[in-house]
Amino acid sequence: MLPEPVEEVCVHRWAYAKPTVEVADTYHLDTDGVGVAGDAFGAPRAQTAWRSGHDLARALVARLTAQ
């Protein structure tokens, strides 16, 4: 809990940040271990971003524990 009540909330949706190309995967992971996740890998929704990050995390764990 915050010590003071919230007085103002502002939410902004970036309307122009929609994927132009469909991809089959829910994330991207390079061979050097650099990964990218987010709603660019599907519908522009919070659930898509969560799934993308979750899948990337599982792939990173699998890669790191296989070494």
Give the pLDDT confidence score for residue 4 in this predicted structure.
Answer: 86
CB 26 within 8 A of CB 41: yes
Spell out the domain ranges in the chain.
27-66
Q: Burial, 37: exposed, middle or buried (Cβ in 10 Å; 0-12, 13-18, 19+)?
A: buried
**pTM, 2 dp:** 0.71
pLDDT in tens, 7-44: 888 887 777 767 777 888 999 999 999 999 998 898 88
